[in-house]
Every structure is written in C-alpha cells, then in structure tokens.
Amino acid sequence: MLEPRDEADLAEIVADAAASGRKLELRGGGTKAAFGAPREAELVSLAGLTGVVDYDPAELVLTVRAGTLLSDVQALVAGEGQMLAFEPWGAAGATIGGTMAAGVAGSRRITAGSARDHLLGLTAVSGRGEVFVAGAKVVKNVTGYDLPKLMAGSWGRIGAMAELTLKVLPAPREVVTLAARGLAPAAAHVAMACALGSNAEVSAAAALADGTVLLRVAGFAPSVAARCAALLGLMAGHGAVERMDTAEAALMWQRAMTGAGLAGSVRWDVHLPARAAAALIAALPEGAEWAMDWGGGRVWVCGEAEDDAVRQMAAGLGGEARLIAAPDAMRARIAAFHPRAKGVAALEARVRRAFDPGGVFVTGRFAEDADADAICA
Amino acid sequence: MSIAMPVPDSATLAKRERIARALRAIVPGEGVIDAPEALTPWESDGLTAYRQPPLLVVLPETTAQVSAVLAWCHAEGVKVVPRGAGTSLSGGALPLADAVLLGLGKFKRVLDIDYEDRVAVVQPGVTNLAITQAVEGRGFYYAPDPSSQIACTIGGNVAENSGGVHCLKYGLTTNNVLGVEIVMMDGEIVRLGGRHLDPGGLDLLGVVVGSEGLLGVVTEVTVRILPRPETARAVLVGFPDAEQAGACVAQVIAEGIIPAGMEMMDRPAIHAAEAFVQVGYPLDVGALLIVEVDGPAAECDFLIGEIARIANANGAVTSRVSDGEAERMAFWAGRKAAFPAVGRISPDYLCMDGTIPRRRLPDVLRRMEELSEEYGLRVANVFHAGDGNLHPLILYDANVPGELDKAEAFGADILRLCVAVGGVLTGEHGVGIEKRDLMPEMFSEADLKQQQRVKCAFDPELLLNPGKVFPVLHRCAELGRMHVHHGALPHPELPRF
C-alpha cells in the first residue's frame, strides 16, 4: 500500500503510476472496500493526509485534509455547536475524504441536501498526476465549473482529493422525534408526505417495517415546541403520534438511516420517488427486510436472493438500486451501480477520461470501467 | 468595452441563407428570424454594453426540434448560443456574429406537479416566479429567488446557478434542482438526475448547473418545491460603521442563527436608497443591516429577540422590527432599489460581484476606501452579508474622458482584492464574457485546463456558446462589472440583487 504524506507525494505516485500504466485504488479508511466488484489493484492510502487547515465557525467553512477521520471532523464542529448538515455516517475509521467520495448522506439529506451540496472546494490530483483546485473556500461562488459536485460521489474514479472545503451549519439546539405507530408502508408514506409538505419544518422522516414512522423536529426550543404542537394536530389522522424517548429515537433513526439490523447477506440501497416506496416493498420477495428513509425516497433492502430482481423493480418504479454488500460471486456478476442509460454512460466515460485519460483509476471495481474502455478506445 | 469575442468565421457568414433554409425546415413558420432589422432585439442580454446581432435566431418548440437544430449545426460546424430570457448580467447569452442564437422562450409549460413528493417538472422557458405561482395555491414555493425572478427563466437559472437573497438558508439553484433533460451539441438527448435523490454514477447534473450554456441546452427541469414558511419578519438595524455591522453578522451566525436573508448597505448606499424610495432608513448611521427570519411565528418572535440582543451587544444605534407584511416589504424596497437609486446620483456606475470570507470585510472596506481616494471615484456598497457576496458600485461619468478607464481599473483592483483575501470573482452573476479574462486571477493554468477538459467531454468541437467563461487569450484582466450608462439599467423594470 502506498502512503503519501502530502499532496506532492500523492501527485508523484499518481503520475508515476499513470506513466507506467499501473492501476491505483484510492482508499480512505477502507470501510467501504467491499463495495463494487472484487479486484486487484495497488492501494493508495490517503489516511496520512490529516488535519484541519482552517476552521472559522462564523464563516460556516471548514477546510480539512482528506484523510482526517469523519468522527474527528464531527467532534470538531460539534464542539462549536455546528454540524455537517448532510448527516454523514460511517464505520469507525471512515475518513472525510472517503465519505465525500462515496457521497454518504443520512436522514437529514431530504431537507438539508446531500454530501455534494456541502462540498465547496477542493484540492485534488487528477489521473494525469496534476494537482488542481476547484470551487473555493467561501459559501457563495459561481466562478467556473462546479467540479466539486463531480468529485462528490465519484468513488475515486476521477481524482484523489487531498484537501476539502466543506460548508458547515449550526447544529439545532433541540431535537425531538415524534413517532406514529402501526402504519403499513403506503400509510407510512402518506404520513411522511403530509408532515414534510407542512410548514412545520420536519427535518427528517423515516419508516420501519414494524410500522413506526419517525418525524424529526429540530431547532430552537420555542420553535420546536410550536411545531410539535402543530404536527400533533396535523397528524391526528395518521395513527397515534407521540413524542419518542431520546434513546429509543436514536436507535430507530440509526436503523432507518443505515439499514442497521436488517438481516441478509445481500444489501441494496434503493433511491426512488418516495411515492413508489410502498409498491417496491409490496413486491419484495418473501423474507426480504427493509427500512425507509428520506420520506420513502430511500429504501434499504436486505435478503439472500443473489439476483438483480430488486434492481429491476426499482427501475420499473422510476428509481435505481445500488448493491451495497453481497457475496463475492454476486459482486463479480452484478454491478454496484445501477446501469445508466447508454448516452449518459458514454458521457460519464468521456468525463472520467477528461480527468483520467490513461485510466489509472480504472480498477475493475465498477462495471462502467469496461464501458469506458470500449467507448474511449 | 474591450472584451474581444472570437473572430467570426467567414465561411459560416457566407452560408447564412443556407443555414436559415435548413433551420426553417426543422422549425417551420415563424420559428426562424433572419431579417436584419428583426435581429436587433436579440443583440444583447442584461450586459447591454456589449451588443452583437446574431447570425440568426431560431425558436424551437420541442426537444426534438432542439435536437435537430443542434445536430444540423454540429454537422455543419456552426456555433450556437443558447438563450433564456436574456437577463444575464455577465453576457452569458451575448450573441456572436457567426452563431445561431437558440432561444428557449417557447418552452413555457409546467409539465407536472407532484405535491406528495414535492417536485415540479417544468420546461426551461418557465420563469422563476411562475414556478412559485403554479404551486402557491397549495402552500408551496420554489426557493431560489434571483431579483429578476419575474423575467428570468428556470433554464437560465440552471445555466447560471442563480441565487437570490435567501440562498444562505435555502441554497442556490444547484441545491434545488433534481434533474434536467439536456440536448448536447451533437443533438443527443440525455436525462441527468430525475425525481429521486442522489443517483449513482458521476454527478453530471451538478456540473451542468452553472455551466453557463457551454455544456448543453436545457430542455426540461425537475425542481424541488418547499412548503411556504408560516410567516416572515424583518428587522432593520443601524450601526456607526460597517465593522460593527460585520461583527453583528458574524455573531448572529456563530450563535447558530441562519436568517432567511441578511443584507448590509454602507452610508452612500443608504443615502441613495432613502432619497429614491423614502422608506425611513436612518441617515445618521454608517451601516445598515436588514435581517429577515422566516418560519413559525414562535420561531420568528424568538429569533427577532435574539438578533436584537446581538445587535445591541455590537453597538447598534437604531433598530426597527417590521410590523406587518407591508412594513417588511418596505424594508426591502430600499435595498432592492439600491441600484437604480445609485443610478440617480451618478451618470454611470460599474457593479462588481465578488465574494469574500466575511471576517475580511473590515480590511476589504478599508482598502476599498483607500482605492476610492486614489482613483478619485466614489463607491457605494451593498452586500449579501450572510454569505459574503459584495456588490460595490463604482460611480463614474462616461462623458469625462478617461473616467471609464479609471473605473475599470478600480474595479479590477477590487476583484483582485477579493481573490487575495481568499474570495472569488463572482458570487452569483456568472463569469460570462464579463469576468472571462479575469479567470487566471483565481485559477492556475492547470485548474483552467481541467475545467476546459470537462467542456471537451460535452462539446469537443467547442461550438456551444464559445467565447464565454474561459479566457481566449492571456490578456490583462478585464473587469467584473455591470455597465450602466446614465442610470439606464438593462431591464429597468426588474428589481436587481
């Protein structure tokens, strides 16, 4: 494993690999290494690039090196009463760079935006081994192409981020969870849509297979009290709604946000129009387990079936499914990402080549790597 | 007036009639405009100092027509400039003599509204405000609100990544768009994003938003709509100087409050605005803040109290809370009229659009005052204080020989200053042609090359909106500015900023 100490090292490593035709897999904490097809590639660990470069809470901007632990970043901003509003989560050891490269966003995503919405700027090394900067270190900027958006969720396929500038926001002073019980998936979606469509400013909404619907109300105390009172009235027709104990709520949100506790060796992350979630769930095979987040816009599905039936269902409902975890043989056979339409796949391949003409980051982890070779040959 | 556009291609100019015939075959009837006198209304966008009649104008009505027009132009090597409502302040839709101007004005339909999932699907020629109007009956709205929202279109908003005074809390266009259909220069139609969140694969939607019409022509947009906040209130606070006002802004945010809007004006801007609209701004203060909060009434009451406390702690000398919707609107009226107000006190002005880290505001204002003395030109400042986006207005008289040059040099120094303190060239108006040649102030050659390579992935022949965003030649930096001659704003009927 190659372990650059700084941006210059990193650039040298990539340039050298590009020149000699080697393949590199970028790695943060390695917590998502099982995502994508099994492959053989030389690893480059970014875990050595750590530390805070600049943080001024009143500016709402944090600049940090890519290998800094996500948990350290979260503790740092929490110490100033702030948060990463996209609610990233990960296993112990997850880095901020890896979290951003994977586009990880939690329950608050539905109202606060995703990882990509909070990446303001970056310094990265392209597949040419060139250092480039994109975006900026201020919250409002439209100068040049928004390359940080491309980098968020790119899974290390277009460049190696060395330094990230993130937008941070004040953390709410008070967070209350209201819960309804006994709602089947269709009723749960209607209840969540009702709450999210109200002006009670629900910041997150999720539903579990035991019939629990979770609504999160966050902000300043007088506002939270007023909005909870309004929601109790508004939700009267959607089962008994009551305030949930904080400890229980934390556990329930964790299950909805991460799919934790769902049994099965095959795990799908389905993103679809929220109104289609109940239909997806109704069509799942016997024994499959699920949890809904984002008001129904995300459904975790776990089971044992080693086929792509879930993906086909998601596509039929206007959504898509990514394969998060599965036995090796299945991951070798079924692509991690939902296949893109032909024109989009070709465009993606050309954009990847714009950053990485020699394919130094093409490791076989993703099926579209093969497409890129075919399209750009 | 010294920004050079690419030299027109004589072969294209020579085949103008053939191009018109071919495009008429694709868009019949009135869809192609080529009579020279009929081209005049199309010769400029919101940056009216720059004028150029297009080769001809085509106004398709369907995505299939857009695709056919682009495919034909691609095959023939003819350049294309896309255009929404033409309100760009940076010259993003400036025509070229040898380019077809592709207007999306006929794409005016709201295609679908899904209140349950809170999305609207609209055509690109729908105005920003019309989206809100389409959904407000059910208590929803579309959040980004550029001040030109009664005229600017959502397609143009996508191209420019438009903001508005509420973007600190609600985000720019990019944070509120879920999907687009675009037609690429070779005529291929692709859909990026959709009605669901966070599709896998590269975030091509993210790079198309704000690409200033260089990557593709937007033919459909899916946006998020939000429930309208229960209420909104504003407070008007005066400070002896901008430094104290800036400290107040920093403390409001540090204490965890993200106001819906937070605007600052300096003494010259306050006086100009008050003389123009008489809304009762205090005239004996050095800086004025307008802070707006929205949400449940209980929240607004609480936050107004907190903001008043923080303002007093930072030396506020006057404070007024809006009593009712009419007074809240009045507070904004002066701010929104700041530009025409300055146009009344000076024959001409240049408008800059940089963003700085807010903590550098006192340094930047001090340096700007020094520059003002050095150049012998007055400057008035309006400022999106929450997010650090400055709009210095440089006052000059174009009839005084050399004064425009001085104003431009002053403006260039201000933008260099913004970049030097860690800020950017443009917070919301876009690069266009206006700041094109200043890009090397902010980006290295390697950075710019990387951006240009993305352009090449979408449009390898560089036929779509050429001459914009990227400096054609390495020349002395031009200015980030909006030209205003004798107080004549482009689209004078629109509120600005």
Sort out which chain B residues have CB atoms less than 8 A from A319's CB and list them: 196
**Number of neighbouring beta carbons within 10 Å of residue B76:** 15
Q: Does A140 touch chain B (CB under 8 A)?
A: yes
Share of chain A above pLDDT 70, in %: 97
- Each residue of A346-373: pLDDT tens digit? 999 999 999 999 999 999 999 866 655 5
Choose among A58, A95, A60: nearest CA to A74: A95
Interchain pair B196, A81: CB under 8 A: no
Q: Which phi-psi region, left, alpha or beta, contains residue B100 (left: φ > 0; alpha: ψ -120 to 50)?
A: beta
Interchain pair B384, A140: CB under 8 A: yes
Reduced to 3 states (helix: H, G, I; strand: E, B; else coil), residue B446 is helix
Sort out which chain A residues have CB atoms less than 8 A from B477's CB and list them: none
Taking only residues 278 to 297 of chain A, the set having a beta carbon closer than 8 angstroms to any beta carbon of chain B reads 294, 297
More confident site: B48 or B463: B463
For testing contact with chain A, the best of B190, B191, B196, B310 (most A CBs within 10 A): B196
Interchain pair A143, B435: CB under 8 A: yes
> What domains, with CATH codes, occur in chain A?
7-170 (3.30.465.10), 174-257 (3.30.70.2190), 259-333 (3.30.70), 342-361+368-375 (no CATH)
Taking only residues 318 to 337 of chain A, the set having a beta carbon closer than 8 angstroms to any beta carbon of chain B reads 318-320, 322, 336-337
Model pLDDT, residue A303: 97
Choose among B438, B391, B415, B486: nearest CA to B147: B391
Model pLDDT, residue B360: 92
Model pLDDT, residue B427: 94
Tell me the pairing of strands B287-295 and B231-239. antiparallel
- Each residue of B419-436: pLDDT tens digit? 999 999 999 999 999 899
What's the DSSP call for residue B467?
T
Give B486: exposed, middle or buried? Use CB within 10 Å, 0-12, 13-18, 19+. exposed
Q: Does A171 touch chain B (CB under 8 A)?
A: yes
CA closest to B384 among chain A residues: A140
Model pLDDT, residue A370: 60
Reduced to 3 states (helix: H, G, I; strand: E, B; else coil), residue B177 is strand
For testing contact with chain A, the best of B63, B67, B112, B116 (most A CBs within 10 A): B116
- Each residue of B94-151: pLDDT tens digit? 999 999 999 999 999 999 999 999 999 999 999 999 999 999 999 999 999 988 899 9
Q: To the nearest whole angstrom, how far is the Cα of B273 from the nearest Cα of chain A?
A: 25
Interchain pair B444, A132: CB under 8 A: yes
Interchain pair A347, B204: CB under 8 A: yes
Model pLDDT, residue A83: 98
Sort out which chain B residues have CB atoms less than 8 A from A81's CB and list them: 256
- At residue B216, does pLDDT exceed 50? yes
CA closest to A272 among chain B residues: B196
Give, for B382, the enclosing helix (H) or strand (E). strand B379-384
Yes or no: say if A98 and A49 are a contact pair by the CB < 8 Å rule.
Answer: no
Average pLDDT of span A165-182 = 97
Choose among B127, B101, B84, B78: nearest CA to B31: B101
> In the structure, what pLDDT confidence band is assigned to residue B493 with cuts at 50, 70 and 90?
low
Sort out which chain A residues have CB atoms less than 8 A from B256's CB and list them: 81, 170-171, 173, 220
Average pLDDT of span B150-157 = 96
Taking only residues 371 to 430 of chain B, the set having a beta carbon closer than 8 angstroms to any beta carbon of chain A reads 384, 387-389, 422-430
Model pLDDT, residue A230: 95
Model pLDDT, residue B492: 47
Sort out which chain B residues have CB atoms less than 8 A from A227's CB and list them: 296, 299
Reduced to 3 states (helix: H, G, I; strand: E, B; else coil), residue B438 is helix
Interchain pair A220, B302: CB under 8 A: yes
Sort out which chain B residues have CB atoms less than 8 A from A190's CB and list them: 116
Q: To the nearest whole angstrom, how far is the Cα of B45 from the nearest Cα of chain A?
A: 19
Nearest CB to A58 within list B118, B140, B250:
B250
- At residue A284, does pLDDT exceed 90? yes
Yes or no: say if B55 and B39 are a contact pair by the CB < 8 Å rule.
Answer: no
Sort out which chain B residues have CB atoms less than 8 A from A131's CB and list them: 446
- Each residue of A69-103: pLDDT tens digit? 999 999 999 999 999 999 999 999 999 999 999 99
- At residue B385, does pLDDT exceed 50? yes
Model pLDDT, residue A371: 56
- Each residue of B324-360: pLDDT tens digit? 999 999 999 888 888 889 888 899 888 889 999 999 9
Interchain pair B190, A57: CB under 8 A: no
How many CB pairs below 8 Å do chains A and B form together? 271
Model pLDDT, residue B48: 78
Model pLDDT, residue B470: 92
Interchain pair B211, A145: CB under 8 A: yes
Q: Which residues of A297-311 are buried (b: 16+ CB within 10 A; e: fewer)?
A: bbbbbbbebeebbbb
Read off the amino acid at residue B241.
D
Average pLDDT of span B475-479 = 27
Q: What is the ipTM of this complex?
A: 0.97
- Mean residue pLDDT of chain A comes to 95
Nearest CB to B117 within list A153, A273, A344:
A273
Average pLDDT of span A29-53 = 96
